[in-house]
Structure 1
Amino acid sequence: MVQRLRTGVEVLDRKLGGGIPTGSLVALCAQPASQAELFLHELTAMRGTLYVTLGRTEAAVADSIQNSPTRTGTPTIRHVTGDAPIDNAAKFVSALPEASNLIVDPADVLERHDADRYRNFLNEVQNHLQNTGSMAVFYCLDGIAVPPGRDTTRHMADVVFDLETHVGSDEIENRLTVPKFRGGRALTDVVKLGLAEEVTIDTSRDIA
């Protein structure tokens, strides 16, 4: 039986048969103004985490995690800079320890570079995840200008989480779908997430 790694969202883990299969690369696709980062923060509480940031500085990410309303861990944060982000990110990934998390935030910076090099990088990441029994989450921003490498990320990913934020007249709804799940069954229903003090499943009412 394939070993699973918990996300920390209890009901979601149960729906996924215990969590994410070890060795999986997860694409978390969400709007830039969403609270999807809370999902990443809570993931750091589950196990040791290497947090590779390609946008904000190490200090900014550390401050965000420290002040997060969710439970968090103490991830190792590395800021990738320079003209060769894929090569620089690969150096950090190669040091990923056993049974840990890798978070890449955001993946967009890598998705805008050479397609072949990016595909090779994803293959290297997946090989390392398999060898260490770890999991990776690539945070993919679904903004106005989606990078050309997004289809590659979604194709190579073992699991795809699509998080959509809907602003209504009296509340904000975060709807999570899992259209792709290698090593298990994709969810057939939409999961309503509560992204506030902790990441929870909102079962207060059905989704329209």
Structure 2
Amino acid sequence: MGEKLSTGVPTLDRRLNGGLNPGDLMAIVTAPATQSHALIAQMMRERSTLYLTTLRSASAIESDFDVLADSESAVIVEDVASGVSMENEFLHELTGSRTYSVASLTDDGMLDDVYEAVQRIDDPGNVVVDPTNPLERTADRKAYQEVLDALKTRLMETGSVGVLHCITHDDPPVFRETTLMVADVVWELDVRAVANGDVEFQLRIPKNRRGNAVLEEITLLIDQQRVYVDDSRNI
């Protein structure tokens, strides 16, 4: 199986018997306003990352992760979106803005772009797809699953970890069940409270194919882009 890979949160690593397994494909399922990017950034500090953005522009993503400037881990951002479609409130809610260039939600060409990017992965690291929603709304379930299978294969071959950022919404993507079925690990993240400048989350790990599920809730805190567990609490 190989040496475990850190999540970037030591207490969480201990709960997972050392962290994530090389080759794991993980789905982070969360609402748009959870600041889940901070959790992804913690993983990006641990190893180099290929970041595939399906909705927001590459420059917007790079701006988000300016906090990683002091990290030795390389970050490559590829924009796999094309065209402009900002006609519904779902997209506005995901991006928080009406200024981002996004792809048509029925453009299967995006799947081709993701597939081609996946084939270029040669070194171990993280591969982030953010968000998966546009891919899950494409017209061809088989083509979408083939992209996920190709990603999983490259993760196993290179000892990498894949992160599928799955945003929840009142209108779930038609292929969300496919995503959760293929994923080796599922993290469910919910906002619980905001107090004293800290954002408090509840994390559950109902699926962990090559390890133990964590069914009890783990309380995560975000403070100045750092994600941690308050070890003084009974978690």
Post-superposition offset of 1:141: 0.2
1:118 partnered with 2:144 = yes
Percent identity over paired residues: 32
Change (3 A) 1:169 1:22: closer
Change (3 A) 1:70 1:112: farther
Cα distance in 1, alignment partners of residues 20 and 115 from structure 2: 23
- In structure 2, the residue matched to 1:78 is 78
1:138 partnered with 2:167 = no
Cα distance in 1, alignment partners of residues 189 and 209 from structure 2: 18
Cα distance in 1, alignment partners of residues 227 and 122 from structure 2: 26
Which residue identity does 1:14 align to in structure 2?
R
What secondary structure is seen at the aligned counterpart in 2 of 1:20? Answer: coil
Instruction: Render the CA deviation track for 1:149-184: whole Å, top value 9, x for unaligned.
Output: 111111110000000112479885310000000111
Change (3 A) 1:86 1:173: same
1:92 partnered with 2:88 = no
- In structure 2, the residue matched to 1:185 is 212
Which residue identity does 2:201 align to in structure 1?
N
Count of matched residue pairs: 207
Residues 163-174 of structure 1 aligned to structure 2 (within 5 Å): 163-167=189-193, 172-174=199-201
Post-superposition offset of 1:2: 3.9
What secondary structure is seen at the aligned counterpart in 1 of 2:216? Answer: coil
What secondary structure is seen at the aligned counterpart in 2 of 1:28? Answer: strand
Greater CA deviation, 28-37 or 161-170?
161-170
CA contact (8 A) 1:46 1:73 kept: yes
- In structure 1, the residue matched to 2:9 is 9
CA contact (8 A) 1:163 1:174 kept: yes
Post-superposition offset of 1:74: 3.5
1:59 partnered with 2:84 = no
- In structure 1, the residue matched to 2:28 is 28
CA contact (8 A) 2:4 2:18 kept: yes
Post-superposition offset of 1:42: 1.6
Cα distance in 1, alignment partners of residues 60 and 130 from structure 2: 12
CA contact (8 A) 1:161 1:176 kept: yes
1:202 partnered with 2:230 = yes
- In structure 2, the residue matched to 1:103 is 128
TM-score where L is the length of structure 2:
0.81
Residues 40-55 of structure 1 aligned to structure 2 (within 5 Å): 40-55=40-55
Cα distance in 2, alignment partners of residues 43 and 179 from structure 1: 20
TM-score where L is the length of structure 1:
0.91
Change (3 A) 1:4 1:51: same
- In structure 2, the residue matched to 1:159 is 185
Which residue identity does 1:185 align to in structure 2?
N
- In structure 1, the residue matched to 2:98 is none
Which residue identity does 2:150 align to in structure 1?
E
Aligned-CA RMSD value: 2.1
CA contact (8 A) 1:38 1:195 kept: yes
What secondary structure is seen at the aligned counterpart in 2 of 1:55? Answer: coil
CA contact (8 A) 1:28 1:163 kept: yes
What secondary structure is seen at the aligned counterpart in 2 of 1:77? Answer: strand
